Amino acid sequence: MSQEAIDQFLAWLQADKDRLLLVGGLPLDELAAYAAAHGFVFTVEELKARQALVHLVEGT
């Protein structure tokens, strides 16, 4: 599911500020594992690709 799973995971995080704070400092592999444990399956590379796209769109 990858990118859709990232969307769903972000929506799930944003629904609860405590969850968002909890993952704020996690290394990427732990973040992906945390997401997988809650049913959102994506890889670290897919998450980085989404961040790279943000850089591309923002021109940074």
Partner 1 sequence: MLQSLASLDGHTLILLCLSLGIALAFEFVNGFHDTANAVATVIYTKALRAGTAVVLSGLCNFLGVLLGGIAVAYSIVHLLPVDLLVSVNSNLGLAMVFSLLVSAILWNFGTWYLGLPASSSHTLIGAILGVGLANAVREGLPAGAGVNWHKAVEVGLSLFISPIIGFVLAGGLLLALQRLLKNPALHRPPQGDAPPPPAMRAALILSGLGVSLAHGSNDGQKGVGLIMLILIGILPGVYSLDADLPSRETAAVRQAAARFTDYFDAHRLEIDKAYAKGTIRELPEKSSAVNCDVHGAVAASEAIQHQLALYESIAAIPAGERWELRTDILCLDDAARIMQGLSGNAAERSEIEQLRQTLRRPTEYAPSWVIMAVSLALGVGTMVGWKRIVVTIGEKIGKTKLSYAQGASAQIVAMATIGLADGLGLPVSTTHVLSSGVAGAMAAHKSGLQMRTLRSIAMAWVFTLPAAMLLGAGFFFLFTAWL
Does 17 bind partner 1 (CB under 8 A)? Our answer is: no
Give 18 or 60: the residue with its C-beta nearer to partner 1. 60
What residues from 29 to 48 belong to the interface with partner 1 (CB under 8 A)? 31, 45, 47-48
Give 24 or 37: the residue with its C-beta nearer to partner 1. 24
Are the beta carbons of 42 and 6 closer than 8 angstroms? yes
Give 4 or 16: the residue with its C-beta nearer to partner 1. 4
